[in-house]
Structure 1
């Protein structure tokens, strides 16, 4: 049949069905018997025979003989039907199922400046993007109850991964992304505006964006602060992460002021990372600021058994009808 786990127990869902057990007997007692009229053939000498015998004819009803086997079979079928209606089942211990409670969008700069090889990871010099990518993948895999989306931007912004709880796929898609795929320049305002558009397609109310860049906004279409104000109106919290170090007035690698203003406008925080260790600490801090939340549904594993008494009822009825038909067939031939 099937294997029942040891931690499951038997129960009947609708115990009140047992009160329907005497229902057929109640109908038998309260309802009048079925009467049928039949034509009678009276012989010409009927009344003379009645006078000779001295017996007076009476008006009587014809009552069929009680079929004990039919009563037993019908009673068994009724019991099986009630057993099926009561929904017998095996039920396990209540469990918890984690629900998605937040949308977490990562908007990452992949302009040509991210190809700068000024980071050291595991004793080896590597590009900023490869360093960020290796650490970010572990960060993504830890967002267990969040649905994560991925936006890549350079001159233009595009969706690398829609919101999903399949975090392994998000990490894989991140691994397939290379510097320069979105153009050479850095359009921070366009990236935020595109992120807002992605959030509008989502139904979860808690919305968090991590904006990561190492450059200065190119100022093509949408100003970063204007986009940040629009994000605030949509209840989106933006955490900004600057990669690298801001220089003096002679020429900036990183526009920290704009990133700080974006974070401040949306209720987020600005972080800066110039090496692998600092980036790990940023993600650790971000985990504390946006801890993984678990909104759980309670459920019980259930194995339904109603089909077995139902099949028994149908089987009993079919076998009885088959045997009854065979019996009447042989009886007619004997006559």
Structure 2
């Protein structure tokens, strides 16, 4: 919708009418100088008088455009939610080789752990309106894939584009925590939450999980750790089927210590249903900021009537100049005709 920042300026619209209705001022003084009549009373004088008639409609339109421009018209866009100060949520995703184990059932089909994570974690990110979310990928080392941002769609896109083996086949849990803590330390104080998703134990990196834990406690970072992987998986071989535990290397003790020491919680995700329930619990433990502020984007429009008024003023000036000089050219032509006759 169109709005006026200074609507009271429109009160000046009828000002020319009041000026027109004022009684003319009587001039009792004699003219100090009388100008000779340059044009005869025939033909050309009448033409000059016609051309010098002021185009009232044009002047009224120019005045109208100037007053409207001075009232500062502006376009109000649709209301947009402004995220208030929420949480800084860093998500650390394990991309080690074991994440390719296909022991998860998603929508009736068997998928590997990473594919399941992409779908359910993407849904969780969609619900975190108002949080600044970052994405860390870790394997042999830890890398910042997406810095802290309110743009959840970008975080989801970067998550969807991840592939197994992108950062190596081992698991650097300590480096991932340390990198998250470092990013938190660069920001202002807020509710700092790290969601750590892994299916193994620390086998790489320069920083041990115990050392990273000390950094997290010092920076008041809350860690929620999630151990991914089924307890039982059926494998087929030449000798038939056998039951194995695909999560035998999962270090639940360390993940529990990391979470509880920072005021967080450890979760065990043995299936896609467990993972969805975990995300719902996290929504309750770390609720999304409910108070939303709204703004309506403003687009200034005053320069449109102002530019049109300037254009019409320029046309009016050209019209006045043409009215002043064209009669003399006509009169001169008439005199030359008389002399030739």
TM-score scaled by length of structure 2:
0.68
Q: After the TM superposition, which residues 214-253 of structure 1 pair with which residues of structure 2 at under 5 Å, given as runs?
A: 214-218=199-203, 220-244=205-229, 253=249
* Corresponding residue number in structure 1 for 2:125: 140
* Corresponding residue number in structure 2 for 1:272: 268
Q: After the TM superposition, which residues 83-98 of structure 1 pair with which residues of structure 2 at under 5 Å, given as runs?
A: 83-89=68-74, 91=76, 95-98=79-82
* Corresponding residue number in structure 1 for 2:142: 157
Q: 1:306 aligns with which of 297, 302, 306?
A: 302
Contact 1:245 1:254 survives alignment (8 Å): no
The CA deviation at 1:211 is 0.5
Distance (whole Å) between structure 2 residues aligned to residue 143 and residue 214 of structure 1: 24
Distance (whole Å) between structure 1 residues aligned to residue 106 and residue 59 of structure 2: 80
Distance (whole Å) between structure 2 residues aligned to residue 72 and residue 175 of structure 1: 63
Distance (whole Å) between structure 1 residues aligned to residue 59 and residue 261 of structure 2: 77
Q: 2:320 aligns with which of 297, 305, 324?
A: 324
Q: Residues 11-46 of structure 1, C-alpha deviation per residue, up to 9 Å, x if partnerless?
A: 5321343566769x99xx9xxxxxxxxxxxxxxxxx
Question: Does 323-332 or 144-153 show the bigger shift?
Answer: 144-153
Distance (whole Å) between structure 1 residues aligned to residue 33 and residue 248 of structure 2: 111
Q: 2:6 aligns with which of 1, 7, 14?
A: 14
CA 1:136–1:19: 2 relative to 1, 3 Å: closer
Contact 1:99 1:294 survives alignment (8 Å): no
The CA deviation at 1:134 is 3.6
Distance (whole Å) between structure 2 residues aligned to residue 155 and residue 302 of structure 1: 49
Q: 1:108 aligns with which of 78, 93, 98?
A: 93
Unmatched segments (≥5 aa) in structure 2: 23-28, 36-51, 232-246, 333-341
Give the SS at the match of 1:207. strand
Give the SS at the match of 2:66. helix
* Corresponding residue number in structure 2 for 1:131: 116
1:292 has 2:259 as partner: no
TM-score scaled by length of structure 1:
0.69
* Corresponding residue number in structure 2 for 1:99: 83
Give the SS at the match of 1:69. coil
Distance (whole Å) between structure 1 residues aligned to residue 61 and residue 101 of structure 2: 82
Q: Residues 131-164 of structure 1, C-alpha deviation per residue, up to 9 Å, x if partnerless?
A: 3334323323333443432212122112333334
Q: Residues 268-300 of structure 1, C-alpha deviation per residue, up to 9 Å, x if partnerless?
A: 211112222222211111122223335544333
Give the SS at the match of 2:147. strand
* Corresponding residue number in structure 1 for 2:256: 260
Distance (whole Å) between structure 1 residues aligned to residue 166 and residue 4 of structure 2: 61
Distance (whole Å) between structure 2 residues aligned to residue 121 and residue 308 of structure 1: 56
CA 1:133–1:324: 2 relative to 1, 3 Å: closer
Question: Does 76-85 or 269-278 show the bigger shift?
Answer: 76-85
The CA deviation at 1:111 is 2.1
Distance (whole Å) between structure 2 residues aligned to residue 242 and residue 176 of structure 1: 22
1:212 has 2:212 as partner: no
Contact 1:150 1:161 survives alignment (8 Å): yes
Give the SS at the match of 2:122. helix
